[in-house]
Amino acid sequence: MNPDRIVLPEITRTDVGTILVSPWLVGTPERQRAAVDATIEEWKAAPWPEAFLSLNCFVSLDGEAVLNYAQWTDDEAHREFVRTYRPTLVRGIDEAVPGIERPGLVRYRLRGSIVADGPGGEVVAAFVSEADGPEHAERLVAEAQARLGTPPDLPLGLRAAHFHISTDGSRVLVYEEWADERSAATSPNHGQPAAARNLYRLRRSLTRHHL
């Protein structure tokens, strides 16, 4: 285990069976920092299930939101954790930072990735598209991949793009890694509404090493 690694998560690690994405609305940069710090401290005190692989807490550059991106080996182990320990964990976070708005957790599977050669990214751009079932979601992923292209002909500054589909087929999450904030902010939205795309930096994370 390696707490507090300030590096972007390894999205393509092969032991990941399920990806859990949970946006929180907190309102200010101060509450962003407090919410992330409280989350990490509660997780450090929690019993880590063997199925838990990583928790990555991103803060949006507009100062309003936290994006939690977690990797587990399987859904059932996570559901058992939710039943047994999550209420204690959430209570501790809410005591430290009252009033967090949680629109809801979404379960995703990784459906494909584009990775450039060279150094990794510093800023993450994430946006979600609604899909009318698994087949439509697959088409959205294929279209997004086609718009971005392949190395070495990727948009300037794009270091990686990872395409996720929710387990119910209702959403597609595109998670892009950019070299820096300028590259991410000036890039085209690849056909996505500007309001659906937000920029994030990783603030803190917890990661279990590969076995």
Average pLDDT of the chain is 91
| Per-residue pLDDT tens digits for 145-192 | 998 999 989 999 999 999 999 999 999 999 999 999 999 888 765 545
The percent of the chain in helix, strand and coil, each rounded to the nearest 5, is 30, 35, 35
Determine the Cα angle at 20 with ends 126 and 112, to 5°.
60
Check which CATH number belongs to the domain holding 148 and give it.
Answer: 3.30.70.100
**Stretch among 3-12, 46-55, 201-210 having the lowest mean pLDDT:** 3-12
pLDDT category of residue 193 using cuts at 50, 70 and 90: very low
Residue with tokens 């309001």: 195
Which DSSP string corresponds to 103-148? ---EEEEEEEEEE-SSS--SEEEEEEEE-SSHHHHHHHHHHHHHHH
ω before 152 within 30° of 0 (cis)? yes
**Are 75 and 165 part of one and the same domain?**
no
**Are 7 and 38 part of one and the same domain?**
yes
| Residue 75 reports pLDDT greater than 50 | yes
pLDDT at 191: 46
In this structure, how many other beta carbons lie within 10 angstroms of the beta carbon of residue 166?
20
**Are 187 and 126 part of one and the same domain?**
yes
Q: What is the mean pLDDT of residues 77-98?
A: 95
**Are 145 and 72 part of one and the same domain?**
no
The string over 25-55, giving b where at least 16 C-beta atoms fall within 10 Å of a residue's C-beta and e elsewhere, is ebeeeebbbbbbbbbbebbeebeebebbbbb
C-alpha separations of 200 from 47, 69, 184, 188 in Å? 28, 12, 10, 16
**Are 22 and 86 part of one and the same domain?**
yes
**Are 95 and 114 part of one and the same domain?**
no
**Are 27 and 70 part of one and the same domain?**
yes
**Are 99 and 116 part of one and the same domain?**
no
**Stretch among 100-104, 132-136, 153-157 having the lowest mean pLDDT:** 153-157
**Are 16 and 78 part of one and the same domain?**
yes
Range of the domain at 191: 109-201
What angle separates helix 75-84 from helix 86-96, to the nearest 10 degrees?
A: 60
**Are 131 and 91 part of one and the same domain?**
no
Q: What domain count does the chain have?
A: 2
| Per-residue pLDDT tens digits for 18-69 | 999 999 999 999 999 999 999 999 999 999 999 999 999 999 999 999 999 9
**Are 174 and 114 part of one and the same domain?**
yes
Instruction: Identify whether the C-beta of residue 154 lies closer than 8 Å to the C-beta of residue 116.
Output: yes
